[in-house]
A and B are shown apart, each in its own frame.
Chain A
Amino acid sequence: MLMIIQTYGTMLLKAMGHTLLLCLLSLVFASVIGMIFGLMNVGHNRALNFIGTVYVDAVRGVPLIVLAYFIYFGIPTAIQQGLGIMSFRLSPLQAGTIALSMNCGAYMAEIVRAGIQSVDRGQMEAGRSLGLSYGAGMALIVVPQAVRTMIPSIINQFIITLKDTSILSVIGFPELTNVGKTVMGNTFKPLQAWAIVGIMYLIVITILSKVSKQIERRVNRGR
């Protein structure tokens, strides 16, 4: 085990860096996607509701691994053949970020929708009765209160997304699980290799959830 750490330590740490990079990028985009589609779903515009629902249902209804294959292999092929741009490629990081952002974004949209709907309707009505627009009521009154109830679910979703980065090993992105496979193949020590990889995930996720709990506590203090 020590031997593996000595030989492959930096390689595994670098892979962990890739995992975190992919996760972080995806979370940023997913938060934006989730906010947009979540707001589309709580509004009263039927067309926007429809788009939001289709997006959420479609993405949630497809396994992440299929989505990743589709984006990594399918989309470039479509663009090459359809638009004739033969040089078009997606790097594994780009494709992985897109797939994971879309996937996580759909779940975030549901978290945002549920969070906003958990805020009493009277809050928006009070805001509107004072002359605020719908958008101002959302931004100043409803969303700040919704975020508080959303935080535990968001933390949960972040952790799931961090673990889901391992699925993107299938498109060749050199994240932790993918490098773990290499280490196993080189050393023929699957027990030790996967134990190390598992512990690395565990450490990072534990840190993430501890930090998140701290944030949650701070946000709730003013309640």
Chain B
Amino acid sequence: MADKADVKISVKNLKKNFGSLEVLKDISLEVTEGEVVVLIGPSGSGKSTLLRCLNQLEKATSGQIVIDGFDVTDKRTDINKVRENIGMVFQHFNLFNHLNVLRNMTLAPVHLKTLSKENANNKAMQLLERVGLSDKAGAYPSQLSGGQKQRVAIARALEMNPDIMLFDEPTSALDPEMVGEVLAVMKELARDGMTMIVVTHEIGFAREVASRVIFMEGGYIIEEGTPEEVLDHPKEPRTIDFLSKVL
């Protein structure tokens, strides 16, 4: 493990209940700068909940989450400020349907005054070029394909200049032929050194890009390690069982 200064995300004994249902039972995790952590596991294992706890879209029931040195589980922390540095990409894209692509991307930075309107527009156009959609700046979300929507969603998150990106099953709602274009954008991000946590069922992506794979089940981290360790030589029976079903 790298030294303390490089730790971007630190989770200690995180628990999350929905009513009487315990979704996360005892999660501890550290992510260092530039790491690409891929979370796999059966549905209901708590992967997405863990991800959503990191930027506090779900409030942790107990435990501590420190991001960039800010304790986001502490009520006094300005969570909105911390979230500006954590991009999130959702399974169902969640583009703002009433705004065109450009306005989708510039809404938050202009409102929060992290960028001037002009700079936000310029940056948005650069990012759209990067994800291969510079001709779609004026299009509305309803005019885009799923893959295009998700690439816009990634660009929208990047517009805030985050140093962490969270991906919540980014390709699960896509038609198979569109998965590749989204994964390509994510691979490029990973290569550029973005700290990423990705919940996905794309084992191929995990094998190729992940610096660490974490297998979760029943609200616990069952096994973690390099893609070779976890995907090719799993030790835990539950990991072996899961992988035999998805591979």
Contact = CB atoms under 8 A, between A and B. Distances in A.
B245 interface: no
Interface string B75-110: 000001101101110101011111000000001100
B96 A131 contact: no
Contacts of B96: 123, 126-127, 141, 145
Contacts of A78: none
A222 interface: yes
Contacts of B111: 132, 136, 140
A222 B97 CA distance: 10
A128 B90 contact: no
Contacts of A120: 92, 94
A128 to B, nearest CB: 7
B98 A148 contact: yes
Contacts of B200: none
A199 to B, nearest CB: 40
Nearest to B103: A140
A125, A126, A140, A148 — which one has the most chain B CB atoms within 10 A of its CB?
A: A126
B140 A132 contact: no
B88 A131 contact: no
B55 interface: yes
Q: How big is the A interface, by class? A: 20 to 34
Interface string A136-151: 1000110011001000
B98 A145 contact: yes
B108 A223 contact: no
A222 B98 CA distance: 7
Contacts of B87: 129
B240 interface: no
A27 B100 CA distance: 32
A140 B106 CA distance: 12
Nearest to A122: B94
B107 A145 contact: no
Nearest to B55: A129
A141 B103 CA distance: 11
Interface of A: 120, 122-123, 125-133, 136, 140-141, 144-145, 148, 222-223
16 contacts: A125-B94, A126-B96, A126-B153, A128-B57, A129-B86, A130-B160, A131-B83, A131-B108, A131-B160, A132-B111, A133-B80, A141-B98, A145-B96, A145-B98, A223-B97, A223-B98
Given A222-B98, A223-B140, 12 more contacts: A128-B80, A129-B157, A130-B83, A130-B160, A131-B84, A131-B108, A132-B80, A132-B108, A140-B111, A141-B107, A148-B98, A222-B140
